[in-house]
A = this chain, B = another copy of it.
Amino acid sequence: MARVVVNVMPKEEILDPQGKAVVRALGRIGVDGVSDVRQGKRFEIEVDDSVSREELERVASTLLANTVIEDYEVVEGE
Contact residues of A with B, CB < 8 Å? 1, 7-9, 19, 22, 25-26, 29, 31-51, 55, 58-59, 62-64
Q: Of residues A39, A42, A46, which shows the largest number of chain B Cβ atoms within 10 Å of its Cβ?
A: A42
When distances are taken between beta carbons in the complex, the residues of chain B under 8 Å from A45 are: 34, 36-37
Roughly how many angstroms separate A1 CA and B35 CA in the complex, as a whole number? 9
A43 and B47 form a contact (CB under 8 A): no
A41 and B41 form a contact (CB under 8 A): yes
A27 to chain B, nearest CB (A): 11
A41 and B44 form a contact (CB under 8 A): no
A62 and B22 form a contact (CB under 8 A): no
Roughly how many angstroms separate A32 CA and B39 CA in the complex, as a whole number? 30
A35 and B48 form a contact (CB under 8 A): yes
